[in-house]
Amino acid sequence: MFNVIKTTNLPGLKKQVSIVFWGTLIGFSSGITNYLAWYRLAAPIANPIVSFYTTAIAYAVVKHQLMDIEVLVKRTLQFAGLVGFAVLLMAIVPKYLLQFFGIPRAVADILGAVIVAASFGKVRESLVNVTDRYLFQKKYDYKELLKKFTDEVMLKVDLKQLLETTVNTLTETVKLDGSSLLLFDKDKRTYELVATRGANGQQVSLGEQEQLVTFLRETHEPVWLDGKVDYPQTIKGQMTLQLKSRLALPLHVHEDLIGVLLLGKKKSDEAFGKDDLDILTPLARTLAIAVTNAQLFEELAKTQAEAAQKEKLAVIGTLSAGINHEICNPLGIVKAQCEAFLLDSEDGILIGKSSQDLLERTSNIMRVALKQIDRATAITQKLSNFAKPIKDPTAQTVSIEQEIDEVLILVGHDLKLEKIEVVKEIEPGLPQIVADRRQLQEVLFNLVRNAGQAIKPPGTIWVRARTSSGLVRVEITDTGSGISEENLKKIYNPFFTTKEPGKGTGLGLFIVRQIVERNKGRIGVESIVGKGTTFSLEFPAVKASPQVAAAR
């Protein structure tokens, strides 16, 4: 319950769980004192406070609709009120009729029953109004709904978040027993369930030729079961039995039906009226645009990721010479050690050596071999990890210094062959940052590689890292040709490149900036033509704990 209170974004659920949490904590803590008496320990018995638990549960049920039983609670209270009214009236009316008018008891009872029956409707209506007003809001606040959609739903560009927030907002604000969203799947040619909340949460898939879908697509009108339209029985049956919905709103973009928004019954048992349609229909149109934008954004991100991966694999090919050299060196050492031992054995040099001497020499050879194999394995492992596509970015605490070292191991060999020196200037005790580790490596790799390509050998690249006003600042400076002021304004534009045809896609810095901003960072650039360029990265530093700070 405590985790739900901390993490949920749903105010209604948070209120419900908070009441139950504190009621449980106080009630159970009080009940524990009963055990002390069993062991004859002198302690105050707080057993009466246990009733706080049941009081809290009752309050959460009645006031905040715990367990979504609004209708049950409302009808119970209304029924109790009606029974109380009838019993009271039947006890009073016959008594007065007998006392003042001398009417026989049987006739008095009949007259009392007639009075109860005649006033029943009015009393019931009054009880409904009272329970609706003080316990359950029958009419939702359309201003609140519009504000939530504007502030929380329409601004989201992440498709999954947009869909989930939509069904949660509608279910809570309009007070529904459930809502669902279906989106068109181009591959399957069906409308698939993508988000749901409440009673209509089962798996649903609608074919594009089904009567309900055809009606929504061709008429552009909602299916409104509480209205006066006489829909075909197949549509009514599908809405009530399969979809458990009273209202189906089409999501249209131009002439295309991209999805369907399904709304279940209101918890108040009230029917969807014309006022509801006047509010919800425009919202559905706006939602359709928001969903389309989020889908386009998702497709763009996928395209960018694929382009970045292709460019990364192409770059890895250029590293092969340096990597090959670094792998051949340790393998050459292992080969030399083994060959020397075999030659000594063939020349008889090992004859007469004690078993202890032979064991010591072979142990030394194996230690050297294992060390060099580990060295070669580490290099190939780093290259393999870097080459893998980034599927699910994960934010974690990351050491900038460690990631710089990882990248320089990969790209450093190639720079050495080009007679480019790399100078590291890392501030001691540099704090960590929160970012996706592999994405950060990709950013550093691109910037160091670009710096190398800007230099006409020989040259130097400085990689600096320091803290500044609560930020970790990384600077990559080269002694290259620099960037003109005109091109400096275009370097982050997609497909802009000053490289020769076939040597760059123009997506490198465009993707770098997106990755940096996605990890809550900033990127900047300064350049002087003929002298060089400095790219800077800034990320919020992770604050060290008091113990760590003291240790430093």
The label of the residue with tokens 């399904």 reads 262
Q: Is residue 409 located within the same domain as residue 384?
A: no
- If we measure between CA atoms, which residue out of 495, 514, 498 comes closest to residue 506? 495
- Has residue 304 been placed in a domain? no
| Length in residues, the chain | 552
Long-range contacts formed by 251-257: CB under 8 A, 24+ apart:
251/284, 251/285, 251/287, 251/288, 251/291, 252/220, 252/285, 252/288, 253/288, 253/289, 253/292, 256/184, 257/184, 257/213, 257/216, 257/217
- Residue 76 placed within a domain: yes
The two three-digit tokens of residue 525, written as one number: 């650039």
Say whether both 119 and 175 belong to one domain.
no
Domain termination residue (choose one: 108, 134, 160): 134
Residue 302 lies in a domain: no
End position of a domain, from candidates 68, 92, 113: 68
What tokens does 446 get? 């691109």
Q: Are residues 409 and 458 in the same domain?
A: yes
Same domain, 31 and 83: no
Q: Give the number of other Cβ atoms within 10 Å of residue 371's Cβ.
A: 12
Q: Is the residue at 305 inside a domain? A: no
Distances, alpha carbon 396 to alpha carbons 337, 388, 543, in Å: 43, 19, 14
Integer Rg of the chain from CA: 37
**Sequential pLDDT tens for the chain (552 residues):** 888 887 766 666 788 889 999 999 988 888 887 777 777 776 666 777 888 888 988 888 777 767 656 666 677 777 888 888 888 877 777 767 666 777 777 777 787 788 888 888 888 878 776 766 555 555 556 666 667 666 666 666 678 888 888 888 888 888 888 899 999 998 889 999 988 887 555 678 889 889 999 999 999 899 998 887 888 888 888 888 888 888 999 999 888 899 999 998 887 777 888 888 888 888 888 888 888 888 877 776 666 666 655 655 555 555 555 556 566 667 777 888 788 888 878 778 777 778 888 888 888 888 888 877 876 776 666 555 555 555 556 788 999 998 898 888 777 777 887 888 999 999 998 999 999 888 888 888 888 888 888 888 889 999 999 998 889 999 999 999 888 888 888 887 765 566 554 444 444 677 788 788 888 899 999 999 989 999 999 999 987 654 444 444
Domain tally, the chain: 5
Query: Do 176 and 249 belong together in one domain?
Result: yes
Cα 34 to the center of its chain, rounded Å = 45
Q: Are residues 472 and 506 in the same domain?
A: yes
Buried/exposed code over 207-229 (b: 16+ C-beta within 10 A; e: otherwise): eeebebbebbbeeeebbbbbbee
Domain that holds residue 476: 393-552
How many other C-beta atoms lie within 10 A of the C-beta of residue 248? 25
**pTM as predicted:** 0.44
Same domain for 238 and 364: no
Distance CA 99, CA 93 (A): 10
Question: Residue 61 falls within a domain, yes or no?
Answer: yes
Match 């049987």 to its residue by tokens.
106
Torsion of CA 35, 40, 43, 45, to 10 degrees: 50
Gap between the Cα atoms of 198 and 167, Å rounded: 9
User: Within a domain: residue 307?
Assistant: no
Q: How far apart are CA 462 and CA 415, in angstroms?
A: 13
Tokens read off for 513: 């900036």
Contact partners, residue 308, CB within 8 Å, separation at least 6:
442, 507, 511
Asked if residue 310 belongs to a domain, the reply is no
Clarify whether residues 441 and 330 are in a common domain: no
Same domain, 331 and 419: no
Judged by DSSP in three states, 255 sits in: coil
Tokens of 115: 């009075």
Same domain as 50, residue 17: yes
Q: Are 512 and 446 in contact (CB under 8 A)?
A: yes
Residue 190 β-bridge partners: 185, 207
Question: What is the distance in angstroms between the CA of the first residue and the CA of the last residue of the chain?
Answer: 38
Dist. CA 56–CA 401, nearest whole Å: 53
For residues 96 and 102, give the distance between their C-alpha atoms in angstroms, rounded to a whole number: 9
User: Domain of 208: which CATH number?
Assistant: 3.30.450.40
**314, part of any domain:** no
Which positions ≥6 away from 193 have C-beta within 8 Å? 180, 181, 182, 203, 204, 205
Residue that the structure tokens 């709904």 belong to: 145
Separation in Å, CA 447 to CA 284, 318, 361, 420, 533? 44, 16, 47, 15, 11
- Domain end (from 68, 98, 116): 68
